[in-house]
């Protein structure tokens, strides 16, 4: 079977009760996103203890201090000030300090920085930090490591393909890396570029327990949820229960305006058949015959479960999500509820 890591609940899962879900992730309070990024906020029901920054080592007394935001600045103006000045006191030319930096502290600083960046326009500020770091190869590699932990780790609450893509594009064009060193980033860019929000979702063929095949794109409904799961996965069970308990989603399933396609991407069909009864009969419970999703890298399978919300034209509304409340909010907003 694939070596898949159970996914930690993203930041929306933990703070949904405290913020307006219409806001984007960039509008989440900085202190909360940093606590989450450092693993201080608990995510129950997980088989893994991996957290962003958990395996980092505190090294020295070197202290990174955030800039003082003028009290006259509030909201977006305060975020903009922090984004522009957060690295003012950091010497990007001093590679000797890299051996003394407290990596946990630097992950915190990087999480603060990305929290100030809009998901819709991340390219310029993400390129800016990479350009600052490119004073030397050691400095660039250090900041790439921070970006990987905060933006790319499947268990990071601040994970964002949209913010990580500019980092990858910069690395592939960087003269500081040779072609061999660029190969993993080229692979990561391919996966990150799949199924972006607002774009058409990758199509695939699914097979049900009676051998019937169908194309995901052929599902007729106003909304489709692709539910990537594994047999016996505890968090898959939790998400299934949340969907079943949703009055909005349940009503849409009943009237046919929402289809849920549960797809198993692996090859152990014995285990899959043993858990067929885990999901309601109104849902489509299927597997990927021949593991084409895996081999063609159509979807990011580094962490399971994963939910993808699609509109009627099969455009992605939510990508690689585990938050049922967020999906409910997206649907309610588009339906004007």
pLDDT (tens digit per residue) in 208-232: 999 999 999 999 999 999 999 999 9
pLDDT (tens digit per residue) in 35-90: 443 333 322 232 333 344 444 445 555 677 888 999 999 988 999 999 999 999 89
Reference 260, options 230, 305, 297, 221; nearest CA is: 221
**pLDDT class of 189 with cuts at 50, 70, 90:** very high
Average pLDDT over residues 158-167: 94
Adjacent-strand bridge partners of 260: 225
Q: Reduced to 3 states, what is the DSSP secondary structure of residue 284?
A: strand
Task: Supply the mean pLDDT for the chain.
Answer: 84
Token pair 């690395």 in the structure block, residue: 171
Is 130 in contact with 143 (CB distance < 8 Å)?
Answer: yes
What token pair was written down for 335? 């339906």
Average pLDDT over residues 186-212: 96
Q: Is 30 a residue whose pLDDT tops 50? A: no
Reference 285, options 236, 336, 331; nearest CA is: 236
Query: Rounded CA gap, 236 and 208, in Å?
Result: 18
Residues in contact with 186: Cβ distance below 8 Å, sequence separation at least 6, in sequence order: 168, 172
Please report the pLDDT score of residue 88 as a whole number.
92
Query: Rounded CA gap, 320 and 154, in Å?
Result: 9
Average pLDDT over residues 153-181: 94
Q: Is 198 a residue whose pLDDT tops 60? A: yes
Query: Rounded CA gap, 5 and 274, in Å?
Result: 21
Sheet containing 306-310, strands listed edge to edge, beginning at the edge strand earlier in sequence: 213-215, 205-208, 284-287, 258-264, 223-228, 306-310, 316-321
Average pLDDT over residues 293-320: 95
Adjacent-strand bridge partners of 303: 5
Q: Is 33 a residue whose pLDDT tops 60? A: no
Show me where the domains of the chain are located: 10-192, 205-335
Adjacent-strand bridge partners of 4: none
Query: Rounded CA gap, 252 and 250, in Å?
Result: 5
pLDDT (tens digit per residue) in 245-268: 999 999 999 999 999 999 999 999
Which CATH code for domain 205-335? 3.40.30.10
Task: Give, to the nearest 10 degrees, the angle between helix 123-133 and helix 161-173.
Answer: 40
Adjacent-strand bridge partners of 224: 259, 310
Residues in contact with 20: Cβ distance below 8 Å, sequence separation at least 6, in sequence order: none
pLDDT (tens digit per residue) in 110-157: 999 999 998 888 999 999 999 999 999 999 999 999 999 999 998 888
pTM for this model (two decimals): 0.77
Average pLDDT over residues 181-199: 96
Chain center to CA of 245: 24
Reference 279, options 241, 245, 306; nearest CA is: 241
CB neighbours of residue 41 within 10 Å: 19
Distances (CA, A) of 173 to 89, 182, 188, 252: 27, 9, 14, 46
């Amino acid at each position: 079977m694939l070596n898949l890591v159970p996914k930690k609940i993203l930041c929306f899962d933990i703070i949904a009760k405290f913020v307006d879900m219409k806001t984007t992730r960039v509008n989440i309070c900085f202190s909360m996103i940093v606590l989450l990024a450092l693993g201080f906020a608990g995510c129950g029901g997980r088989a893994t203890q991996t957290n962003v920054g958990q395996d980092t080592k505190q090294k020295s007394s070197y202290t990174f201090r955030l800039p003082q935001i003028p009290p006259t600045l509030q909201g977006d103006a305060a975020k903009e000030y922090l984004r522009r000045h957060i690295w003012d006191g950091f010497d990007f030319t001093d590679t000797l300090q890299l051996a003394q930096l407290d990596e946990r502290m630097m992950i915190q600083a990087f999480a603060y920085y990305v929290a100030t960046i809009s998901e819709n326009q991340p390219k310029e500020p993400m390129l800016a930090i990479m350009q600052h770091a490119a004073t030397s190869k050691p400095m660039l590699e250090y900041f790439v490591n921070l970006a990987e932990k905060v933006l790319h780790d499947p268990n990071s609450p601040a994970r964002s393909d949209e913010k990580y893509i500019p980092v990858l594009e910069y690395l592939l064009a960087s003269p500081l890396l040779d072609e061999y060193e660029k190969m993993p980033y080229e692979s990561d860019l391919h996966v990150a570029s799949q199924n972006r929000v607002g774009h058409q979702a990758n199509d695939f063929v699914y097979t049900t327990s009676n051998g019937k095949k169908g194309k995901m794109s052929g599902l007729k409904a106003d909304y489709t949820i692709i539910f990537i799961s594994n047999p016996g996965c505890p968090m898959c069970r939790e998400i299934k229960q949340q969907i079943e308990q949703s009055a909005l989603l349940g009503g849409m399933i009943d009237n046919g305006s929402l289809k849920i396609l549960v797809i198993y991407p692996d090859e152990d069909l014995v285990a899959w058949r043993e858990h067929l009864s885990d999901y309601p009969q109104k849902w489509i419970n299927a597997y990927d015959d021949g593991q084409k999703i895996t081999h063609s890298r159509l979807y990011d399978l580094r962490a399971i479960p994963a939910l993808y919300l699609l509109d009627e034209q099969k455009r992605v509304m939510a990508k690689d999500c585990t938050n049922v409340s967020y999906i409910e909010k997206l649907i309610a907003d588009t339906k004007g509820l």
